[in-house]
Structure 1
């Protein structure tokens, strides 16, 4: 959710299980008060806030400390997601998420678990070997600080690159929980727009496998096939380690939650 999505969270509150992790984004068009208020709302409604810390959007160490301090005041620092962020040039001293982790400040403000980004299909602006080095360096730094790590991935439409990437993560000795980014039900044009923006594979074969057609962009699509196939394939591979899902709520918090509840009910 964004800082503006508190009304949407209130609408979805009754259909989201208590204790669910809910990420709160760090957008350039939202301010400190909005981000903290959203994290507090998540906590007050019985969920687990995971505020984003966007390294490149931080103008100074003092701003980072102010953000962490305000989050700690509302009980929202146990879980955070540290990400590089969108700006091409850093607005302050932190050029990457590793730079934030390396400060050692997270422990000072009660952080226990840090989510870091994973890219099964690569990143449009970062070379593959650089991504792997960053992942290894961040994992090592968090381990040295005694912090739990979760790898939260960009969303995907196709199980093949996801499974190949998980295999590479484990071969590199990284045993952290992985949460695979999964698009919640949304309009097809909207989903494809996000895919193009983030460099996600969305060719005709993949989207047909996912369950929608490039010739009909007016409908909606959900991740039923993707989740079912991923679950079955992971069950065949015990070496994949702990893997869960992270939903990108492109169609809204309630629509995603309703879909999840219906999917679970159908399987049981």
Structure 2
């Protein structure tokens, strides 16, 4: 497949997989952690203006580091969406304190709510639904709330491999979206095949869940790195894409890029305008700069850095 189509003299934003991909990547978001954000001297040199930046809250990260990262990104003109992992939030007072800190110090008005990756809750919360029910975000006037989506299921929620509990949670979140003033959307785990993603997104609509989907895409990374993260994050059957590639020694040392899955999703979106995948959300497994540069090279006008 021909990946790049350069137009002479168009500069660094000219390479694009296709016009459909350029449209599909418009308004993409990306995820950072405080320690990875520290390695980026200037986000404005690599990210488009207005890019939503999620800040992943890993167990053990001090809230002070999270807020400082949010403050820096907000000052650079990027809307910030910090994670609120329910299972590491001790109680309602802690939740209220975090909301107040983000809002007061970093002008944050949006959040990703999720259960979190720890087995045993620190305190009173164990699910994103409890965080929503707390009323803390509505009381603070948060304008956007995202919740997790799992195109290939989630073994933490459904150990038997079914999607029963995941589906029940989605219906609950759909109903909640009708009672809150905040805009809601699903931000998903990454997967490596377009077919299962399309089938899952279509099944949501058929089941009456019309929350916009921000589809998780793993940014370019070494194959070994990609496999490690995919297993740790519970990626489902689409892991076979990586496993097949690992058997090809000629490709083993080459970085794995998201060209195929993005191209297929973009083509499906172009052919089906009512397709409910609204945006791409990048997990920069190979590094923030690597991911942003891939978008610049392949996303055309959708990925022009803010300072250009």
Matched with 1:38 is 69
Q: C-alpha deviations, 1:108-150, integer Å up to 9, x for none?
A: 2231110100000111222211001111112211321222101
- The aligned residue for residue 215 of structure 1 is 248
Separation in 2 of the partners of 1:203 and 1:181? Answer: 14
1:179 and 2:214 aligned: yes
Instruction: Deviation per CA, 1:48-86: give whole Å up to 9, x if none.
Output: 100000101011111101100000112443110000001
Structure 2 Cα separation of the partners of residues 104 and 267 of structure 1? 36
Number of the residue aligned with 1:253: 288
Query: What is the distance in 1 between the residues matched to 2:301 and 2:84?
Result: 37
2:221 is equivalent to residue 161 of structure 1: no
Give the number of the structure whose alpha-carbon radius of gyration is greater: 2
Say whether 1:236 aligns with 2:267: no
SS of the residue aligned with 2:213?
strand
Q: Distance in 1 between matches of 2:276 and 2:210?
A: 7
- Displacement of 1:222 after TM fit? 1.1
Q: Does 1:93 align with 2:124?
A: yes
5+ residue gaps in structure 2?
1-31, 304-308
TM-score normalised by length of structure 2: 0.81
Structure 1, residues 153-204: CA drift from partner, whole Å, max 9, x if none?
0001001110011011111222222111001111110101111122223454
Is the 1:159–1:230 Cα contact (8 Å) retained in structure 2? yes
Uncovered stretches (5+) of structure 1, i.e. residues with no partner: none
- Structure number having the greater helix percentage: 1
Question: Of 166, 169, 178, which aligns to 1:131?
Answer: 166
Q: How many angstroms does 1:8 deviate by?
A: 2.9
More off after superposition, 154-163 vs 242-251: 242-251
Aligned partner (choices 25, 36, 49) of residue 56 of structure 2: 25
1:59 corresponds to 2:94:
no
Structure 1 consecutive aligned stretches of length 4 or more whose deviation exceeds 6 Å: none
Residues 1:228 and 1:67: Cα distance change in structure 2 (over 3 Å): same
2:151 to 83, 96, 120: 120
In the other structure, the counterpart of 1:111 is 142
Q: Distance in 2 between matches of 1:62 and 1:253?
A: 33
TM-score of the superposed pair, with normalisation by structure 1: 0.92
Cα distance between partner residues in 1 of 2:166 and 2:75: 36
Residue 238 of structure 1: SS of its match in structure 2? coil
CA distance in 2, matches of 1:120, 1:18: 29
CA distance in 2 between partners of 1:267 and 1:79 (Å)? 23
Contact 2:192 2:239 in 1 (8 A): no
Partner SS for 2:280:
strand
Residues 142, 148 of structure 1: 8 Å contact kept = yes
Greater RCO (Cα-Cα under 8 Å, separation 6 or more): 2
Corresponding residue SS for 2:35: coil
Q: Tell me the distance in 2 between the aligned counterparts of 1:13 and 1:61.
A: 36
The alpha-carbon deviation at position 231 of structure 1 amounts to 0.6
